[in-house]
Amino acid sequence: MNREEKSALLRFLILYSLSALVLMGIIALLYYNKAAAEAKMTCKKDLKNTLLSAEMDIRDACMNSTPYRFDPSRYKLKVGLFDRNRTAIASSLAHPDVDFSRPVSMHPTYVQMVKHLRHPLQGISWIVAEDIRMPSQLHQLKLLIALTMFGAMLFVAFIGYLLSRLLLKPAKNRIDALNRFIKDATHEINTPVTALLMSVSALKKKGYGDEKLMRHISISAKQISAIYNTLSYITFTNHTPQKPRRFDLKKEIQKNIAFFEEIARSKKITIESDLESTYVMMDRDDADRLIGNLLSNAIKYSFGGTTIRVSLKEGVFSVQDEGIGISPEDREQILKRYKRASNLGGGFGIGLDIVNTICKKYGIILTIDSEEGEGSTFRLDFSALIE
């Protein structure tokens, strides 16, 4: 999968998983609230029954005029007996610090219920029942719900992944077929374009044919060549090994100006240059694409009869045109693939995406200054590559 397909798949999985998570979270919350309410009701019932059972045992002992013998095993929960001064007489409580001011005390690890006897029985004024099961049960319930949701999320994500691959497969097959066609067509177009450029150059040198006609053929051939270079980059870039080498960027710029000058003259555009020798370490083809795409864009979006100023000073290469400019809202999107500032100049909206991609690869700093209707200036800072 390419970067766009991976991004689309990831967005789908995130949206699908989040939707499922919200739904499962609501169900889990409702289930937990219901289970917690039932657990608290059961706990309260057991506490009351334990208090009642302890009180009945004390009363039976009083009625039989026998001493009350405290036996913790007789009661379902833990029990504590206290005198009027709240001093323990007998107790199996796990937490002896009892809050006698509240009938029921809820704590993170236990629950206590207190009963006050108006008339003390055998010196017992307070009976306390304690449940340490309910908080533990709620904790286990939370853990079970969390583990269940985690497992369910993994299952949902897996199903979402399978569904997305299944739904995207027809589109992916069509895209793969289209990419193969573009790749094959790009490969096949290279030979006739090269032959056409060489033939036109040879005919112009020998003075054959009508000069105006030869110029039109030459301009068209160069435009086709520029399109070929763009298509070859996006088609073969992942398969072409990088060959960094040291060269003078000035000569590469001069070569590109000479190539595009004829196209610029056809629109009555003048290219002025102010260049100084700057040696950089990078792949020469990548440098050629950077320069060529910026010059091609400047010519494409410049008004007729204007001037394009090309500069290379202190490691900064700039191309300034007097064209349509870029609006503030388009400036953020212009570097993305298939995005164009205007439909006036044609093109595919790929050139600046290629420029941005190469700049990121080499750490070249790209800045854009533009005023709508006034023109644009693109600057590339090659300082990181200067040797």
The verdict on 8 and 126 lying in the same domain is yes
Split into its structural domains, the chain has a count of 2
In a domain, 98, yes or no: yes
Q: Among residues 58, 217, 36, which one has the least CA distance to residue 125? A: 58
pLDDT band for position 111 (cuts 50, 70, 90): very high
Both 124 and 253 in a single domain? no
> In this model, does residue 218 exceed pLDDT 70?
no
Q: Confidence band (pLDDT; 50, 70, 90) for 239?
A: very low
- Is 154 within the bounds of a domain? no
187 in a domain, yes or no? Answer: no
Instruction: CATH number of the domain at 263, please.
Output: 3.30.565.10
Last residue of a domain, one of 136, 156, 186: 136
Let me know if residue 128 belongs to a domain: yes
**β-bridge partners, 128:** 80, 114
With beta carbons less than 8 A apart as the criterion, state whether 364 and 381 touch: yes
The predicted model gives 203-230 an average pLDDT of 67
Strand order in the sheet with 104-106: 88-91, 78-82, 124-131, 111-121, 104-106
Whether 213 maps to a domain, the answer reads: no
In this structure, is residue 365 part of a structural domain? yes
- pLDDT (tens digit per residue) in 364-377: 999 988 888 888 99
Q: Is 236 a member of any domain? A: no
In a domain, 112, yes or no: yes
Contact 240, 229 (CB under 8 A): no
- CA distances 285 to 120, 164, 240, 242, 381, Å, are 100, 38, 11, 9, 18
**Domain check: are 371 and 248 in the same one?**
yes
Q: Give me the domain span that covers residue 286.
A: 241-385
- pLDDT at position 301, please? 87
